[in-house]
Amino acid sequence: DVQLQASGGGLVQAGGSLRLSCAASGFTFDDYAIGWFRQAPGKNGKGVACIVNRDGSTSYADSVKGRFTISSDSAKNTVYLQMNSLKPEDTAVYYCAAEKFPTVFTSAQCIGVVKGSDYWGQGTLVTVSS
C-alpha cells in the first residue's frame, strides 16, 4: 500500500525556517512525483512545491519561490521541503501527496498531476507568528 508520512511542522517566528519531511513507502519512488500542498484556515488548499523523482526537476508556487526548496533522497524514499524566510501567511496544514508521473510530462505539470492523487499524507501544522 502507498503510504506517506509527513512530519516537521511546528511554531516558528516570522523570518525563521522549518524543514518538512515526507517519508514514502509502498511504491517505486523514482516512478512518482511528490508534491507539498497547504491549506490555511478557511481557505482552499493550494500546491506549494513539487518534485519529479526520476530526474529531480521541481516546480513552485509563485508565493514561495526563492524561499522554499523541495528535494528528495531516493535512498531514504523521503522528500523534504526546506522553508526559509517564513511569513505569517505561510501558516497552514501542509500535506504531501504522491502520484505516478508519466514520462511525457515535465515538472511544469507536476503540481497539477499530483493534486489529483488518491495518496496523501496526514498533514503537519506550520504556524508562523508575527
Percentage of residues in the chain having pLDDT higher than 90: 100
Distance CA(124)–CA(20), nearest Å, equals: 8
User: Both ends of the chain: CA-CA distance in Å?
Assistant: 40
Whole-number pLDDT of residue 46: 97
pLDDT per position as a tens digit, 102-117: 999 999 999 999 999 9
Whole-number pLDDT of residue 18: 98
Cell 502507498 found at: 2
What confidence tier does 56 reach under pLDDT thresholds 50, 70, 90?
very high
What confidence tier does 61 reach under pLDDT thresholds 50, 70, 90?
very high
Whole-number pLDDT of residue 65: 98
Amino acid identity, residue 83? Answer: M
Mean pLDDT across the stretch 45-59? 97
What confidence tier does 26 reach under pLDDT thresholds 50, 70, 90?
very high
